Amino acid sequence: MRIWPQTMSSWRTLCEIVFCLCGFALLYVYAGYPILLAVLSRFVDREPAELGYAPCVSVLIAAYNERSNIRRKIEQTLETDYPPERLEIIVASDGSTDGTDGIVKSIQDPRVKLVRVEGRRGKTHVQNEAVRHCNGEYIVFSDATTIYHPLSLRYLAANYQDADVGAVSGRYQYFDTNGGSPTGLGTIAFWNYENLIKRFQSKIRTISGCCGCIYSVRKTAYTDLADEVISDLVQPLHIIKKGFRVVFEERALAFEETTQTASQEFKMRVRVVTRGMRGILSVPELLNPWRYGWISFQLICHKVLRWLVGLFLLGALVSNCFLIDRSFFMATMALQSSFYLTALLSLVTPLHKKSRILGVPLYFCILNTAAVVSLVEILRGRKYVVWETVRTEGVVR
């Protein structure tokens, strides 16, 4: 009879330890790490690059069946505030079948070129192929649905005056046109948060990943990548290995619309995170803190721990279930239950139309559930190379 109370006491202690560890991990990932970066960045004096430097640039647009978007994208790029004689546009068509190629060919401007890649090999592969056709000193990678601020190319280029800079990322600015997306505000808030972290990282030394629809690299520093990895994370890592810095240029804006349904967002996140995980696994040496101190620290805190948040959340919830006989744990259980219930209700009813902030729990849950699913996909050996867009028909991402 004495064993039972001791067993219960040990079980309670274990649950309290699990709850505290998971809670601390969540607090560190979302608050502690950004605060630490903010403090460290205060000790670094790094001025923004001055406009004026404008080398030859190639804007590389990866596209699959982009008939409805490609003309507008090309015309908007041609109209950007960049010296015309130093700009070229390469459209890399991933075996498009909807007439995208014909639209590109019909544009009567010698600066616009089509590179068609047969076989439907995915975004990373067509980028590898198209880079060989680029004449610019640096290459800007874009999507067919993304709209750039008129000065974005100038802001990106200005950073290459520093010979230590091998890649420059612009900044995402998401928008929800009619407020109809259940995850719209969550997407906007999350990427504003991500941009803040990138600003701190860049000021301290270097960022470890770029914004996929607006980032650039020195052509001489480009590395061919495996089809199944995500280029905007892995390409910067290879550039860092070569001794360059990767800079975040927040003045270079790229505008992109949010997904319009929860299922679209979930599918996109699973694919992006799975490719990101495979990307990190392709350069495991960068996780060695004794060799790549600052980079390793960023990858572990900003990527690895972030991808494990879903497990921390599950640990906090399950352990909390066994501790609700105390007022503190009753309160934390009530908070967690309310949060997840709001997310579940958002799946079946448009709560975001009553108040957009009610869509944030759903986005948060989608983000972290997708990361857990991605972990399973990695263990299963699943690779994501190509897909159909979840935003507008035909975008290759």
Average pLDDT score over residue span 103-130: 95
Q: Are 366 and 269 in contact (CB under 8 A)?
A: yes
Average pLDDT score over residue span 224-241: 96
pLDDT tops 60 at residue 374: yes
What is the C-alpha to C-alpha distance for residues 242 and 219, in angstroms, rounded to an integer?
13
pLDDT value, residue 1: 44
Least-confidence region, from 138-152, 227-241, 252-266, 383-397? 383-397
What is the C-alpha to C-alpha distance for residues 221 and 226, in angstroms, rounded to an integer?
16
Average pLDDT, the chain: 92
Average pLDDT score over residue span 106-112: 95
Question: Which CA distances in Å does 68 have to 282, 295, 300?
Answer: 35, 40, 40
pLDDT tops 90 at residue 306: yes
Range of the domain at 320: 1-397
Residue of 148, 149, 158, 136 whose CA lies nearest to 90: 136
Between 350 and 200, the more confident residue is 200
Average pLDDT score over residue span 222-244: 96
CATH code at 26?
A: 3.90.550.10
Confidence of residue 396 (pLDDT cuts 50, 70, 90): very low
The structure tokens 């804007």 sit at: 59
pLDDT value, residue 5: 54
Provide the number of structural domains found in the chain: 1
Q: Are 174 and 268 in contact (CB under 8 A)?
A: no
Which residues, 6 or more positions from 321, have their beta carbon under 8 angstroms from its beta carbon? 333
**pTM score, whole prediction:** 0.91
Confidence of residue 353 (pLDDT cuts 50, 70, 90): confident
Confidence of residue 356 (pLDDT cuts 50, 70, 90): confident
pLDDT tops 50 at residue 378: yes
pLDDT tops 80 at residue 7: no
3-state helix, strand, coil in the chain (%, to 5): 55, 15, 30
**pLDDT, tens only, 54-93:** 999 999 999 999 999 999 999 999 999 999 999 999 999 9
Average pLDDT score over residue span 16-29: 97
Strand order in the sheet with 147-148: 112-116, 87-93, 57-63, 138-143, 214-218, 165-175, 245-257, 147-148
SS3 243: coil
Q: Are 32 and 306 in contact (CB under 8 A)?
A: no
What is the C-alpha to C-alpha distance for residues 263 and 122, in angstroms, rounded to an integer?
21
Average pLDDT score over residue span 127-134: 96
Average pLDDT score over residue span 168-182: 86
SS3 130: helix
**pLDDT, tens only, 23-40:** 999 999 999 999 999 999
